[in-house]
Amino acid sequence: MDLSRRLRAWALARPRVLIVDAPGTVELRRAVEAELDRRGWPLAMSPADTDVLLVLGLPGPELAAAIDVLWSQIAQPRHRVDLRAATDLHHRLEETVRALGAAAPEEHVDGAVPARAGAGHPAGGMDHSGHEGMDHSGHEGMDHSGMAGMDHSGMAGMDHSGMAGMDHSGMAGMDHAAMGGGGHAGHHMHHGGDVAGLPMAETAPDRDGLALDVLRVAIGPVLPGWPTGLLLRADLQGDVLTSARLSWVDATDDRGSPPGKVHPQRAALDQLASLLLVAGWPTAARDARCARDGLASTDRSELATARRRAERVARRVRRSRALAWTVRGAGHLHSSLGRTAGGDVLDRVRRWCDVASGGDVEAPASPTSLDEVAAVLEGTELGTARLIVASVALDRSAARTAPEEARA
């Protein structure tokens, strides 16, 4: 038994970490990322490949509810750490490894999840209805109630409400609508009811005018390389987004980064790091994070190394023909703020690179409102939408200007 315990401890010594940063924890997040990079702990992509959930700062009520959902989706063994400050970071992470590795699986089950049957739902009316009715008995490994709320809305941002039902009107609607006749709508076979509490998908004309199933999705508030707390609600047809709307969870919570003490070069590297992560270039993202962390140093030689490193990564990204080829033409922002905010994703990437290499240039301005960004997301594919969001500096002061008519 001792051997297997030690094997477990060894296996869990480099856990995969999902970071959830509450507003106002920029410096803490950077410190944590630096420490994780130093230890070689990978960043998780989704709750499914998470071992440790790191919650930074004090999340507001809606984000806290989303975190609970996330937590319920993480497979055992798992551990949650709430960090308020970076002071005893090393110690806390060591403790985390011990807690993960030492505990037998049964011990995990007890302090697992706050019961969330019928709990208040996170993030503005994400639809959890019906998740309570699940029967997990058939699944091996689903041995505790904490996993029962296996819905997706927290992390992967999936609102299942539009998705699981097999919708016959999809087929029927295709047949008729493709012939240009709208009058056949009555022929659609609507099998009322739902699956596992999820209503069926509807049909709507897509970008090319064909009738296609529509899923209502909510993407966010926690995703890799995504501004935590941002929520994208849209209709999804295939992988194309329509009627996209952006909002912040806990919108009244305006603890943004305090103005005035922003280090522009570090901010640019931070932006580049998350953008490169989304663009699927993890080595460059790692270099950008590394340079960013070095720039915070007070040591002169370390600072010089970090500057060189920043220039190198900025040059590499700027000159990358592959990146230019793959992101060019996406997300043209016609900003009222003029040239520095406009252009496509590639223009913005290059401007971030200029700032990141320490050049005396103005950082790309933040869009004035989320609506401005949401308008560009219209009709884009999911991956493009992620790139566009990652290419703009969104801060929480850039709220929706329009009234939130959609909030449930």
Partner 1 sequence: MLTDLSGWTVAAVVVLGVLSVAGGIAVFVVDSMARATFALLASFLAVAGVLLAFDLVYLAVVTALMMTIEMAIMAVFMIMFMMNPAGLMPMTMVHNARGSAVTGAVTFVVLVVGIWTVDWPIGRTERPEDSTRQLGEAIMGSHMLVMLVIGIGLFATILAGTVLATARGRYDRFGADLAAKRPDDPIPGGLPR
Partner 2 sequence: MPETETAAAAWGVVPSALLVMGAALGLGWLVAAVDRVVLTGAGAPAVLEPVRSSVRLLTEQRRTTLAPDPLLWRLGIAAVPVLAVLSLAVVPIGGRTLWSTSVDLVWFNAMEALLWAAVWLVGWGPNAVHALTGGYRFLAQGLAYELPLMFSLIAVGVGAGSLRTADILSAQAGLWFVVSMPVAFVVFLASAAAFAFWGPFGAPTGADIAGGVTSELSGVDRLLVEAGRAIFLGATAAMAVALFLGGGSGPWLPGPVWQLLKTVAVVVALVWAGRRLPVLRPDRVVEVAWTVLVPVTLVQALVVAVLLLSGFYAV
List contacts with partner 1 (CB under 8 A): 163-168, 170-171, 174, 191, 193, 195-196, 200-201, 207-210, 212-213, 215, 236-238, 325, 329, 379, 381
Q: How far apart are CA 248 and CA 193, in angstroms?
A: 33
CB neighbours of 62 closer than 8 A, spacing ≥ 6? 122, 123, 124, 221, 249, 250
Smaller CB separation from partner 1, 92 or 168? 168
Q: How far apart are CA 45 and CA 53, in angstroms?
A: 12
Q: How far apart are CA 231 and CA 248, in angstroms?
A: 6
Smaller CB separation from partner 2, 160 or 176? 160
Count of residues binding partner 2 (CB under 8 A)? 73
* Among 1, 2, 141, 338, contact with partner 2 (rule: CB under 8 A): 141
Closest contact distance (angstroms) between CB of 166 and partner 1 is 3
277 lies in the site for partner 2, by CB under 8 A: yes
Picked from partner 1, partner 2, none, the partner binding residue 51 (CB below 5 to 8 A depending on kind) is partner 2
- Local structure of 214: helix, strand or coil: strand
Token code pair at residue 294: 């070095």
Smaller CB separation from partner 1, 142 or 174? 174
Site for partner 2 in 303-342 (CB under 8 A): 320, 322-323, 325-327
Q: Which range, of 22-30, 185-193, 195-203, 357-365, touches partner 2 by CB under 8 A?
A: 195-203
Q: Which range, of 38-46, 89-97, 205-213, 252-260, touches partner 2 by CB under 8 A?
A: 38-46
Picked from partner 1, partner 2, none, the partner binding residue 191 (CB below 5 to 8 A depending on kind) is partner 1
* Among 45, 89, 119, 361, contact with partner 2 (rule: CB under 8 A): 45
Q: How far apart are CA 22 and CA 12, in angstroms?
A: 26
102 lies in the site for partner 2, by CB under 8 A: no
73 lies in the site for partner 2, by CB under 8 A: yes
The one-character DSSP state at 195 is B
Picked from partner 1, partner 2, none, the partner binding residue 279 (CB below 5 to 8 A depending on kind) is partner 2
Rounded to the nearest 5°, which phi and psi values hold at 154? -65, -65
Smaller CB separation from partner 2, 166 or 402? 166
DSSP for 376-397 reads HHTT-BHHHHHHHHHHS---TT
Rounded to the nearest 5°, which phi and psi values hold at 379? 75, 10
Q: How far apart are CA 21 and CA 229, in angstroms?
A: 9
13 lies in the site for partner 2, by CB under 8 A: yes
131 lies in the site for partner 2, by CB under 8 A: yes
The one-character DSSP state at 362 is P
* Among 140, 208, 360, 405, contact with partner 2 (rule: CB under 8 A): 140
Closest contact distance (angstroms) between CB of 338 and partner 1 is 26
DSSP for 11-68 reads HTTS--EEEEEPTT-HHHHHHHHHHHHHHTPPBPSSGGG-SEEEEES---HHHHHHHH
